Amino acid sequence: MKIIFLHIPKTAGQSVHQLLIDFLGKDKVCPARDNNQLLSYSKQEMDKYQVFSGHFDWCIFDSLPGHKFTFTVLREPCDRILSFYFYLRKEANKLSKEELEASDKQGLKAALVLSPYDYFVNQKTSIRNFIDDHCDNFYTYYFAGRSYNGRSKLKNLSKDKILKDTEDILKLALENMSTLDKVYNINDWQARLKKDLSEITSTKSFNSQNYLVNQNKTIEAKDRLEKLKELGADKNVIQQIEQFCELDNLLYKKFFPPH
């Protein structure tokens, strides 16, 4: 059985990936971690591996034969966006000015040099589409479109009246997610995933260690919004982030209802 982890940015992906390696062995896990890397593999090469773990378009695996255990991990939507933003700033700070000018580093550069208003709100920001594709209800558009460019693809369908409104997009996302084998929460995924892997692989002799989730430990989750305000975020920024989470909050609550 193939095991596919659809890794959404800032949802414990590195920790999940390491658990899969420890559980099944490094030789069983495909080294590709994103679409570009995976698409360089032939079908014959992909078939050598049991596990695929990374930032992948879900639709890539439609042609993969045999039974599949496909899962993902979700995190509270607003916290995910803020964690992603501060992660980009942290990574950008590691680079020189020259390195930040590279075309593939513009997302990092934007998080570091733009004000919160220009990053989250300003429609004239040069990489507006890149930012919005990663922040604007990412869960909903990813699972509805089954790809990382789901937002752009579905926005076009909306313009062509194929999808009437955002309710249709949310409905499509939930319908697609109903075909996933498991949707875990970042707060308790470890024990649940270990149990499920033991059952589907009949593997019992597993070193049950704890995997530290990288959640930007230098900033507590409850303090991220305050940290953003310290950087100059006003009510317009906060309102925009809330809009970025509007559909994702509904999706998240379907799987993890508030107590």
3-state per-residue secondary structure call for 159-193: HCCCCCCHHHHHHHHHHHHCCCCEEEECCCHHHHH
Q: Where are the beta strands (DSSP E) in 95-238?
A: 182-185
Q: Per-residue pLDDT for the chain (259 aa), expressed as one digit of tens each?
A: 999 999 999 999 999 999 999 999 999 999 999 999 999 999 999 999 999 999 999 999 998 988 999 999 999 999 999 999 999 999 999 999 999 999 999 999 999 999 999 999 999 999 999 999 999 999 999 999 999 999 988 877 655 554 557 888 999 999 999 999 999 999 999 999 999 999 999 876 555 555 555 545 455 556 899 999 999 999 999 999 999 999 999 999 999 998 7
Using one digit for the tens of pLDDT, what is the confidence trace for 134-164?
Answer: 999 999 999 999 999 999 888 776 555 545 5
Distance in angstroms (rounded) separating the CA atoms of residues 185 and 187: 5
Cα 179 off chain centre by: 18
How many other CB atoms sit within 10 Å of the CB of residue 169? 24
Using one digit for the tens of pLDDT, what is the confidence trace for 172-184?
Answer: 999 999 999 999 9
CA 30 to each of CA 10, 49, 58, 65, 118: distance values in angstroms, whole numbers, following the listed order:
20, 6, 15, 16, 38
Element (H, E) at 255: helix 246-255
| Residue 55 DSSP label | B
3-state secondary structure of 100: helix
- As beta bridge partners, residue 185 has 74
Q: Are 11 and 75 in contact (CB under 8 A)?
A: yes
| Confidence at residue 212, expressed as pLDDT on a 0 to 100 scale | 55
3-state secondary structure of 125: coil
Does the model's pTM come out above 0.75?
yes
Distance in angstroms (rounded) separating the CA atoms of residues 254 and 222: 23
In terms of DSSP bridges, do strands 68-74 and 2-6 run parallel, antiparallel, or are they unpaired? parallel
Q: Which two tokens stand for residue 74?
A: 């979700």
Q: Is 75 exposed, middle or buried (0-12, 13-18, 19+ CB in 10 A)?
A: buried
CA 53 to each of CA 35, 169, 182, 222: distance values in angstroms, whole numbers, following the listed order:
11, 26, 14, 29
Q: Are 169 and 163 in contact (CB under 8 A)?
A: yes
Q: Are 61 and 14 in contact (CB under 8 A)?
A: no
